[in-house]
Structure 1
Amino acid sequence: MTRKTATSTDPKKPAARKRVAGTAARKAAAKAPANPFKINSKEWNREKVMDAVCNAIASSSKSITTILAAGHQGHPLPDYATVARWLNEKDENGANPICDQYARAKEAQAEFMAEELAELHNKAWVPVLDPDTGMPIVVDGRPLMTVDKASAAIVRLEADNKKWLMGKLKPRRFGDKVTQEHVGEGGGPIKARIAVEFVRPPARSEDDES
């Protein structure tokens, strides 16, 4: 004779576990900081995103892809494909304020690179190492500095890259090619004016007629 052991099941336990899991998920969602660059945590706020991106561009020599990948103050930013789509979109009048804002930021970045270029020579200085110990030589409490071929080559390469980028970002000021442009008043086109003046001929005498 086999004896069956009855097992008591509480139908309320699974429901209780689901309620606990749901509560924990809601608490986790509440603790997660909202992304200030999104609208209702779904769509990107283009104005806020481009303000942050353009400020970072104008105050550094970083590319837009690097800035987007790094995020802003711990908050993620959209990928480059999204921003590139924004830059190519135009309204019904053919205007794109986002593209204009980005263009101004890139011009400001060229000015920032020019300031960096003025201080770039400091990177060429390297400490002189003791040939026996391999440690920097210190004179009067300061390391003895020099410029070797390797450091000079690195600085020269970085300077050439910055100059090339500056010429592309702001060719009117930093470009290698010098051009002469003739413009009219206020930078507008030259206006050609032709004036025709009618002059009465002098009176002829009788001697001239004969």
Structure 2
Amino acid sequence: MKAKVMPGGRPTKYSPKLAAALCADIAYCPEAEKGLKVHEACAKHGCSVSSFFLWLVEYQEFSEAYAHAREARFEQLAEETLVIPDAIPDTAYWELADGRKVPSLQGLEDDETKGAKLKFLSKEVVMKAQLQVLSRQWYLEKLAPHRFGKKVALEHAGKDGGPIKSESTVQFYMPDNQRDAPSE
């Protein structure tokens, strides 16, 4: 593909290959073991964030690929809201030298248990995990409300799902002391 010349004369770095690599990394980057944010993917591939967003407007195929990458990223974030709390250990755990956290040292080799430290669950760890989950939920609710937003279903229906029947009765009331009074 011939490089498109910008009004200032500088050729664009855009290519279908670069667009595919950016979208692939936003969906899932094997090195990071998760999807990258736009600015991280741009830094990895040597393009500016402003160019990235200009390309979304200029190239329909890039815009569509980015939409699919975002959907994949949303699924990953939704999955993380389940994984983060599950990763919190119970009240006490052993942290091994390689970083693993295990509830007990039983069944481990002696060389694995060297340098193991007994740790206790802190309030800060729980609060951090809660913040991580809540921030992901908020992000998903705002960017994909049709899938991850809070759904409020309000249904107005009458008996057996039919229309609502409305009846009104009007009664006029005249106090007893004014019934026999002559009208003028």
* TMscore range, shorter length: 0.5 to 0.7
TM-score by length of 2: 0.55
Q: Is the 8 A contact 1:110 1:165 kept in 2?
A: no
Partners of 2:153 and 2:103 in 1: how far apart?
Answer: 51
1:88 is aligned to 57
Q: CA deviation at 1:177?
A: 3.9
Q: Is the 8 A contact 1:167 1:176 kept in 2?
A: yes
Q: CA deviation at 1:106?
A: 0.8
2:133 is aligned to 159
TM-score by length of 1: 0.49
1:4 is aligned to none
Q: SS of the residue aligned with 1:111?
A: helix
1:175 is aligned to 149
2:73 is aligned to 109
Q: Is the 8 A contact 1:107 1:169 kept in 2?
A: no
Q: CA deviation at 1:163?
A: 0.9
Q: 1:112 to 1:44 in 2, by over 3 A?
A: same
Partners of 1:45 and 1:55 in 2: how far apart?
Answer: 15
Q: Is the 8 A contact 1:53 1:67 kept in 2?
A: yes
- One of 74, 82, 97 as aligned partner of 1:118: 82
User: What 5-or-longer segments of structure 2 have no aligned partner?
Assistant: 4-10, 29-33, 96-101, 155-184
Work out whether 1:51 is the aligned partner of 2:24: no
Count the aligned residue pairs: 125
Q: CA deviation at 1:147?
A: 3.0
Q: SS of the residue aligned with 1:176?
A: coil
* Alpha-carbon displacement from aligned partner over 1:31-82 (angstroms, at most 9, x marks no partner): xxxxxxx96xx6424311121111111123431001211x1xxxx4311111
Larger radius of gyration: 1
Identity across aligned pairs (percent)? 25
Work out whether 1:65 is the aligned partner of 2:39: yes
Matches within 5 A, 1:121-132: 121-125=85-89, 127=93
Q: Is the 8 A contact 1:68 1:77 kept in 2?
A: yes
Q: SS of the residue aligned with 1:119?
A: helix
Partners of 1:137 and 1:123 in 2: how far apart?
Answer: 12
Q: Is the 8 A contact 1:167 1:175 kept in 2?
A: yes
Q: CA deviation at 1:146?
A: 4.6
Partners of 1:44 and 1:124 in 2: how far apart?
Answer: 44
* Alpha-carbon displacement from aligned partner over 1:128-162 (angstroms, at most 9, x marks no partner): 69xxxxxx996435765653211000000000111
Q: 1:61 to 1:146 in 2, by over 3 A?
A: farther
Partners of 2:72 and 2:103 in 1: how far apart?
Answer: 41
Partner amino acid, structure 2, of 1:154: K
